[in-house]
Amino acid sequence: MLGNMTLMEFLGGGRAVPGHRPWPRVQLDERGWRELLHQMAISEWTLLGLWGEGKEIHVALRDDADGSIGVASLHCPDRRFPSLSEVRPGAIRLERAIRDLHGLIPEGLADLRPWLDHGRWPLAVPLAGLRGAVPQASPDYSFLPVEGESLHQIPVGPVHAGVIEPGHFRFTCAGETVVRLEERLGYTHKGVESLMAGRPVAEAARLAGRISGDSTVAYAIAFARAVEAATGAEAAPRADWLRALFAELERIANHLLDIGAIANDAAFGFLLARCMVLREQILSFNETYFGHRLLMDRVIPGGVAVDLTREATSVLRTLIHDLRKGFKKLVAIYDDLPSLQDRTVGTGIVHGSLAYRFGAGGFVGRASSHGGDARKVPGYPPYDDLEFAVPVRPDGDVNARVWLRIEEVQASFGLLEQIIETIPGGHLHRPVPTRGGEGMSLVESFRGEILMWVRLSEVGKVVRCHPRDPSWFQWPLLEAAIEGNIVADFPLCNKSFNCSYSGADL
Amino acid sequence: MSLLRRLAQELLHGPRTIDGPVADPAGLEELARRIGERAQARLGRSLSIREVDAGSCNGCELEINAANGPVYDLERFGIRFVASPRHADVILVTGPVTTNMAVALQRTYDAAPHPKWVVAMGDCAIDGGCFAGGYAVLGGVHHVLPVDLSIPGCPPTPLKLLAGLLALLETVATGS
Ligand code: SF4
């Protein structure tokens, strides 16, 4: 079985599971799963997601050679499965989470410490469906041992100095230089997957839009598309365009805040203030014309909940023009300040090989030569009808991530203009049929690719939903990025990543 | 030179800041009732806030940051966010309070000096919002701390947040 097999050829050897859309899902036996590990070791298949369900484990993969996508599942009656962590290190934290939530044991996983379970839940393995299972994890957590002379540790968090999400960072330093950073997350774990189960689609959609508030539009689209796939429905055409309009507004608003915040962490508050003025123009436009500043609950399964009126169109046209102009000036300032670039150039480098090994997407991956954008591959409407560039840079430092975001903002302006000009008329919403099925979607949030997987029951309720935030594959790279940098540059590095805590803690 | 030119333009342009809201009347009543004698301490019309994200979706944080930004400019009212609870008069909490954050929230509160006030911001912080009932959330700040003021919304807009905090400031400053 050696050699260059495509993902589809490989999955052809499994037992196809009917009713999984739009990509195939197959059932493997344990031998097949081991064969899969073997193939992954020699093939360019990107790990898109890995999640548990009862005594089953699912893995979603993309063959980067031809862009094909598929899901493989393994039934593990004895609650054990061969770990993927050796061939895809991005799987490590996912498997630790699966062990915490489902009690499925990844065989061969080197790091068996709990991840999401801090020993404070009232029940153990909450998604395993075992009644009365008592918690086992202890609130004490052993950080990796560090040895060496004159090293000291700085524990930071979960409550940080700024207004940001909670997480713990354990820095080991030699003088000012960070020798190692170890992250401990899971503080915002809300049990979203368990809350999803059993909910009617409409209610679950609301929840999906609150997995990571800054990406509410992207999550809502991902959920809606997964539901539409599962039920064989299609959103109203105009809705596809409005979804993209919302998504690009969200992308710009987030990038603006982050670009400003990065400059602010280098003590240049002016840029943050100006970026926030631009951002605020978008949010108040959203509020006036769409009824919510962050656009929560505006995307619903089957379509969208709000239209772009003629008046809004003309206001938006002027707004984009003003934003473009204002943004251009700010970019010129960033480009023109050696003292600012002194902090960002060469800081927090992520090597391309690492981005590749972890399958990191979004601007974190693309600033380290690891391309890919779900709007292009696999692509979804209306992006196939729109022209836009996906910037990629090789340097992998904070500066590259800033520029990447700058270029993405500019690309999004172009997208918005095209959308306004070509958006078709028609209905905003089509009813989603009440039927069972399995659906998956990949949607590009401002951070990168979100994977959403749902199984619906015949009465239209969510049986199982798994959202995989792009941050899962980016957080580990932050640990690498800061190595050898000074502690004072951590805020810069961290902001240039701006991973989601809530999205990855679930 | 472009930065200097920009700065000069900014000076000529005048402030980007919009007018502030009036103190939330509903909030004022609620506060007067709840705060009672603790508000006797005069804070000289300034409030220092330590924010704790107790498991929010990060939407509430975005709006706090907006309120802090140049358009709403919270600081002009004497309200500012501080890095340490040791300097805080107010603990502003977002999120449904996850079991994993409960201890950190309690410790942050304990670290703040007396007198202190607790504000629950957002539907999650009030009763768990859409995360209520989950195995990993306590379902609202009141399960851990005594709440003085609730600011509903998902997320509350910066103006709502501002109005709530102004109400708190007025109640505390006048000692009513
Ligand atoms: S109230 Fe809404 S915006 Fe705030 S944390 Fe909860 S879900 Fe997010």
Nearest to A141 by CA among A161, A122, A119, A172: A119
Supply the DSSP symbol for B36.
Answer: G
Residues A235 and A88 in one domain: no
pLDDT of residue B170: 79
**What are the CA-CA distances from residue A478 to residues A338, A385, A495 (Å)?**
25, 35, 10
The token pair at A176 is 């000012």
Distance A211 CA to ligand 1 centre (A): 9
State in Å: Cα A159 to ligand 1 middle. 18
Please say if the pLDDT value at position B40 is more than 50: no
pLDDT band of B37, cuts 50, 70, 90: very low
Q: At residue B30, does pLDDT exceed 70?
A: no
Q: What is the mean pLDDT of residues A298-321?
A: 97
Q: Is the CB of B150 under 6 A from ligand 1?
A: no
Q: Which residues of A115-139 are buried (b: 16+ CB within 10 A; e: fewer)?
A: bbbbebbeebbbbbeeeeeebebee
Is residue B21 pLDDT above 80, yes or no?
no
| Mean pLDDT lowest among A35-49, A251-265, B8-22, B156-170 | B8-22
Quick one: which of A482, A463, A344, A319 has its CA closest to A403?
Answer: A344
CA of A27 to the centre of ligand 1 (A): 38
Q: Which residues contact A441 (CB under 8 A, 6 or more apart)?
A: A221, A222, A223, A225, A226, A229, A380, A451, A452
In a domain? residue A282:
yes
For residue B164, how far is its CA from the centre of ligand 1 (angstroms)? 17
Cβ B95 under 6 angstroms from ligand 1: yes
* Cβ of residue B151 lying under 6 Å from some atom of ligand 1: no
The pLDDT score that the predictor gives to residue A3 is 58
Contact A294 B59 (CB under 8 A): yes
Residue A258 near residue A493, CB atoms below 8 Å: no
Number of the ligand 1 atom closest to the C-alpha atom of A210: 7
pLDDT score recorded for residue A181: 95
Structural domain includes residue A174: no
CA of B46 vs chain A CAs: smallest distance (Å): 19
Measured CA to CA in angstroms, residue B90 lies from A255, B44, B115, B120, B144 at distances of 30, 14, 9, 10, 15
* Residue B138 Cα, gap to closest chain A Cα (Å): 10
Q: Is residue A360 part of a domain?
A: yes
Asked if the structure places residue A166 within a domain, the reply is no
Single pTM value for the model: 0.94
- Is B94 close to ligand 1, i.e. is its CB under 6 Å away? yes
Q: Would the pLDDT of B28 be above 80?
A: no
Q: Decide if pLDDT at B39 tops 60.
A: no
What is the torsional sign of CA B30, B31, B37, B40?
negative
Q: How confident is the model at residue B44 (pLDDT cuts 50, 70, 90)?
A: low
- A308/chain B closest Cα distance in angstroms: 22
Q: Which of A106, A70, A82, A93 shows the shortest CA–CA distance to A34?
A: A82
Are A210 and B155 a contacting pair at CB < 8 A?
no
pLDDT at B42: 54
Contacts of A159 in chain B (CB under 8 A): 52-53, 85, 104, 108
Q: H-helix or E-strand containing A328?
A: helix A310-335
Residues A235 and A95 in one domain: no
Query: Which candidate in A159, A185, A322, A339 is best for mutational testing of the B interface (most B CBs within 10 A)?
Result: A159
For A453-489, what is each residue's pLDDT tens digit? Answer: 999 999 999 999 999 999 999 999 999 999 999 999 9
Domain boundary among A57, A86, A107: A107
The pLDDT tens digits for A101-158 are 999 999 999 999 999 999 999 888 999 876 666 666 677 888 998 888 889 999 998 9
- Domain boundary among the residues A74, A90, A107 is at A107
Give B136-173 as a DSSP string. Answer: TB-SSGGGTS--SEEE-SSSPPHHHHHHHHHHHHHHHH
In the predicted model, what is the mean pLDDT of chain A?
A: 94
Q: Check residue B26 and give its pLDDT.
A: 63
CATH number of domain containing A96: 3.30.460.80
- Residue A101 and residue A234 in one domain: no
Q: Is the pLDDT of residue B34 over 70?
A: no
Residues A92 and A231 both lie in one domain: no
Q: Which residue has the higher pLDDT, A430 or B28?
A: A430
Residue B166 is predicted with a pLDDT of: 85
In-domain check, residue A194: no
pLDDT tens track for A342-393: 999 999 999 999 999 999 999 999 999 998 899 999 999 999 999 999 999 9
pLDDT at B128: 97
- Residue A330 covered by a domain: yes
Q: Is residue A230 part of a domain?
A: yes
Residue A149: enclosing H or E segment and its boundaries? none
Q: What percent of chain A has pLDDT over 90?
A: 90
Q: Are B168 and B119 in contact (CB under 8 A)?
A: yes
Distance from CA of B13 to the nearest CA of A (A): 13
* CATH code: domain of residue A355: 1.10.645.10
Rounded to whole angstroms, the Cα distance separating A43 from A66 reads 12
CA atoms within 13 A of residue B77's CA, in its CB half-sphere: 30
- Output the CA B57–ligand 1 centroid distance in Å: 6
Model confidence pLDDT, tens digit, residues B91-129: 999 999 999 999 999 999 999 998 899 999 999 999 999
Tell me how crowded residue B101 is: count the other CB atoms within 10 A of its CB. 32
At A238 the pLDDT is 96
Q: Which of A56, A72, A107 is the last residue of a domain?
A: A107
Range of the domain at A47: 7-107
The residue type of A289 is: Y
Report CB contact under 8 Å: A121, B136. Answer: yes
Q: Give domain status of residue A128, yes or no.
A: no
Which among A163, A185, A259 is the top mutation candidate for probing chain B, defined by the most B β-carbons within 10 Å of its own β-carbon? Answer: A163
- The DSSP H or E segment spanning B74 is none
What distance in Å separates the CA atoms of residue A308 and residue A299, rounded to the nearest whole number? 13
Question: What is the pLDDT at residue A130?
Answer: 65
Percent of chain A topping pLDDT 70: 98
Query: How many separate domains does chain A show?
Result: 2
